[in-house]
Structure 1
Amino acid sequence: MNRRSTLGVLGLLLGLGLVWFFLLPDLFPTNPGAQGKATMRSPPPLSVAVAPVRRGTLDRRISFTGDVLPQSVVQVHAQIAGVVEELTVEEGDTVQRGEVLGLVEHRELAAQVRQAEARLALYQARYAQLLAGARPEELSQARDRLRKAEANLKKARRVYERAQELFAKHFLSDQDREEAQREYEAAVAEYNIARDALALLRKGARPEERQAALAQVREAEAELELARTRLGHARITAPIDGMVSKRHIDPGDFATPSSPLLTLMNLDRVKIAGHVSERHLQLLHPGQQAEVRVDAYPAERFTGSLFRIGPTMDPVTRTVPVEIHMENPYHRLKPGMFARVELVVETFPDVLFIPRVALLPAGQGTRVFVYHDGKVESRTIRTGYQTDELVVVLDHLQEGEQVIVKGQERLKDGMQVRIP
């Protein structure tokens, strides 16, 4: 026998020995009951996951999207037409209400104000003169004129009386007598004028004269106020607190009341304009709290409240427009941002709730498996409001009990389970 044949025989014998070694215990068992026990061994407990029954507050929320808008947007116009002399703000500048932002050419308007001021001063002086009456020197002059007129009257009367006597004795012609009479009558008239003039100075202006003078003063005051108003219109002022979002014109351009000069936005408060489905309309009430998220700050939630519910429904989308108002103290929320809103429309305080994944159908109802001491118990329960993740439990569960949330589809009442 050669070497190769010898090695083959040895390998065959070694293989037969190994087979005999492993099969021997099964062919001739030393303990006849061991094989039966192995075949009757129970399967291992199923592995499950649990979650506690919790007590707390759940909010009913509806979600919608919208756009961030400024609470107020105002376009600033020139109140008069003219060349823009000055514009002191740029886009992005913050302004205060009443702040002067620019100026329209106003030299002619300023001259009109000075003219109205001079006219008012003149009429005020005339009216004051009428109220004060005659000056002492005017009264003195009037008394002097009366004394002179009285002296002339006495002299003219004597001459006239003498002429009458001479005429009666035929020592004076009729022409000379008539001349003396005319001089006497002129003296009488002069005396009456001087007397009446003095009386008027002492009495002062008539009521209607004072009223006419006062009316002139009032008219001049109104003209001055109008001139000043027109001059004020040359100033371009901010109607609100806010920020310059757009500048439409530059110094040197011609401004008209119909064309905007600036656009201002107030970003201290912003609003979210969105639409809510018709089926949620009955749940909406002004003042409801809202949480807002924007892509610019994905980890943050901003709070606001429902401010306005639109009066009409969109006939195409069957949605109602709504507005959420919210504070924006640091102007982080910018107009044009896309916002996701969760509106709290109802609150359920002090309720028991569990994860929705624990629910299993049970005929016309719902059941869950409750874990206790390594075994599970099937319970039929009644549920209330549900969110995407949680459900309110109305009965048959207690706070702190453990419900199965994973693997419950394979369970039966009383089965043993294990929690990894």
Structure 2
Amino acid sequence: MVFLKRKSVIVALASFVLISILLLISLGNKDDDKVVNAGEVSNMPLVEVKELEPMDLKEVFNTIGFFVPENDWRVTPDTVGTVEKVLVTEGDMVEKDELLFQLENSSQKERVEEAKQELRDARNNLQEAKTEENWSLQSARESLDEAKEYEEEQKQKLEEAKEDYKEGEIDKRELERAEDRYDLAKRRTERAQELVDSIEEDDNKDIQEAFYEEQVKWAERLLERAEKEYEKTYVKAPSGGEILSVRIQKGDTANPITPAIVIVSQGKVHVSTSVSEQYVVKLAEGDSAKVTVPAISDKQVSGTITEVGVMPEDGGRFYPVNIILDESIDNLKVGMNAQIQLTIASESDVLAVPRHAIVTDDDEDMVYVLDEDNLVHLKPVTTGISENGLVHVEGLNEGDKVVVAGISRLEDGTEVEVVKEDK
């Protein structure tokens, strides 16, 4: 009897275990059916939408430039000459009219002394003409001979100057000065001849005085010109500032064309750049700019456009633009590169969508807009300026929900499931 009872218990337990296993399998099968069914039902396109709200946009243009001084002076002598000595070096600070370098000037100094003697002689002759009753014909003829001799000398120097000019040894201004000296010499000869003629006609008192008054004026002009030529051999600073570069040394030939020394101001430096015709029409003086100096830091510094060129540079297609920084930058040097961000358009309180949300059909721009029934509809839009991938659009309303992801499976009237909504 005990054995039968135990057998009955074992059978009962086995039956319970079997039923439990079958029940679990049955429940498992029901859960699998739910997953499959759910996958079959969720067949709508999944999309992300963005609710539109007004915002400000700025369209920018990035370019590069370099720093230049607010003012700079490229110093050249007013005459051709050999450098005798240089009194400054790069980095020196100079004041206005401070001597920078000197040209060899022995010949100019000699001409000054000759002109001074000419003036002394002319004044002495004038004084004698006023005090003497008569002027001897012999003295007048001697003066005429001296004038002719001087004229011939200046004529010869003019011929030499013409040859030197052809060979490129002197500039045009040197040639013109030789021509002026020859013209003055001819006038002197003419006056001396008039004096001789007047004495021979025995009517010489007033003519004599007039002649030597003219001689004094001529000698004064000659001395003035000689002193100017001498002064040109001393080249001075046109303004105060820092010596940026010295391009000459003793023994070099300096000329009025090639800069010998460059001076830069100690005021604000500005950024110089150039832009194409596409962008120059969108810029104006007073517009803001952002400038970065990579050699110093990544910090952006605000600036203001001070000049927009009206003519392209060197006959090209790019127009010069200058920018003054609104604040100073430590360790900034002339010539450093600058990264520039220029604002070429701006708009306030406008609606914008990501560029990738815009679809184009037959050259018409459109976006998908979600309605209350989770249906999307194509709406045409007009595009404007852009910033960081956002494009200004017209044709939509504030609060519209625009599809920004999942567009590839859509067409007008498609029902969708929204998985993400940005505001």
TM-score where L is the length of structure 2:
0.55
| C-alpha distance in structure 2 between counterparts of 1:15 and 1:381, whole Å | 72
Alignment match, 1:257? 255
| C-alpha distance in structure 2 between counterparts of 1:361 and 1:350, whole Å | 25
Alignment match, 2:319? 322
| C-alpha distance in structure 2 between counterparts of 1:79 and 1:206, whole Å | 43
- 1:45-100 Cα distance to aligned partner (Å, 9 max, x none): 968464643243544x5555566667867353473534513x22212334455432
Please give the residue correspondences for 1:61-76 in structure 2 after superposition, counting only pairs within 5 Å: 61-65=60-64, 74=74, 76=76
CA displacement at 1:117 relative to structure 2: 4.3
Please give the residue correspondences for 1:11-410 in structure 2 after superposition, counting only pairs within 5 Å: 21=20, 23-25=22-24, 27=26, 48=48, 50=50, 52-59=52-59, 61-65=60-64, 74=74, 76-77=76-77, 79-85=79-85, 87-95=86-94, 98-106=97-105, 109-110=108-109, 112-113=111-112, 116-117=115-116, 119-120=118-119, 123-124=122-123, 127=126, 206-239=205-238, 243-250=242-249, 252-257=250-255, 262-264=260-262, 266=264, 272=272, 274=274, 276=276, 280=278, 283=281, 287=285, 289=287, 291=289, 293-296=292-295, 297-300=297-300, 302-304=303-305, 305-310=307-312, 320-327=317-324, 332=332, 334-335=334-335, 337=337, 339-341=338-340, 344-346=343-345, 348=347, 351-360=350-359, 364-369=364-369, 378=377, 380-387=379-386, 389-398=389-398, 403-407=402-406
CA displacement at 1:248 relative to structure 2: 2.9
| C-alpha distance in structure 1 between counterparts of 2:98 and 2:15, whole Å | 109
Give the 3-state SS of the residue equivalent to 2:320 in structure 1: strand
Give the 3-state SS of the residue equivalent to 1:354 in structure 2: strand
Cα pair distance change 1:73/1:354, threshold 3 Å: farther
> Highest Rg: 1 or 2?
1
| C-alpha distance in structure 1 between counterparts of 2:109 and 2:18, whole Å | 124
CA displacement at 1:101 relative to structure 2: 0.8
Give the 3-state SS of the residue equivalent to 2:224 in structure 1: helix
CA displacement at 1:382 relative to structure 2: 0.7
CA displacement at 1:235 relative to structure 2: 0.8
Give the 3-state SS of the residue equivalent to 2:395 in structure 1: coil
| C-alpha distance in structure 2 between counterparts of 1:386 and 1:378, whole Å | 24
Amino acid at match of 1:389: G
User: Does the Cα contact within 8 Å between 2:248 and 2:254 map onto a contact in 1?
Assistant: no
Structure 1 unaligned runs (5+)?
A: 1-13, 135-204, 315-319
Instruction: Output the aligned Cα RMSD.
Output: 5.2
| C-alpha distance in structure 1 between counterparts of 2:253 and 2:340, whole Å | 42
| C-alpha distance in structure 2 between counterparts of 1:115 and 1:313, whole Å | 50
Cα pair distance change 1:45/1:344, threshold 3 Å: closer
Structure 2 unaligned runs (5+)?
A: 1-12, 133-203
- 1:343-367 Cα distance to aligned partner (Å, 9 max, x none): 5555556543233233345785411
User: Does the Cα contact within 8 Å between 1:66 and 1:275 map onto a contact in 2?
Assistant: no
Alignment match, 1:144? none
Cα pair distance change 1:52/1:294, threshold 3 Å: farther
| C-alpha distance in structure 1 between counterparts of 2:64 and 2:285, whole Å | 18
Cα pair distance change 1:23/1:228, threshold 3 Å: farther
Count of residues in correspondence between the two structures: 322
Percent sequence identity is: 17
| C-alpha distance in structure 2 between counterparts of 1:28 and 1:259, whole Å | 101
Cα pair distance change 1:394/1:23, threshold 3 Å: same
Cα pair distance change 1:413/1:241, threshold 3 Å: farther
Give the 3-state SS of the residue equivalent to 1:217 in structure 2: helix
Give the 3-state SS of the residue equivalent to 2:88 in structure 1: coil
Cα pair distance change 1:354/1:112, threshold 3 Å: same
CA displacement at 1:233 relative to structure 2: 1.4
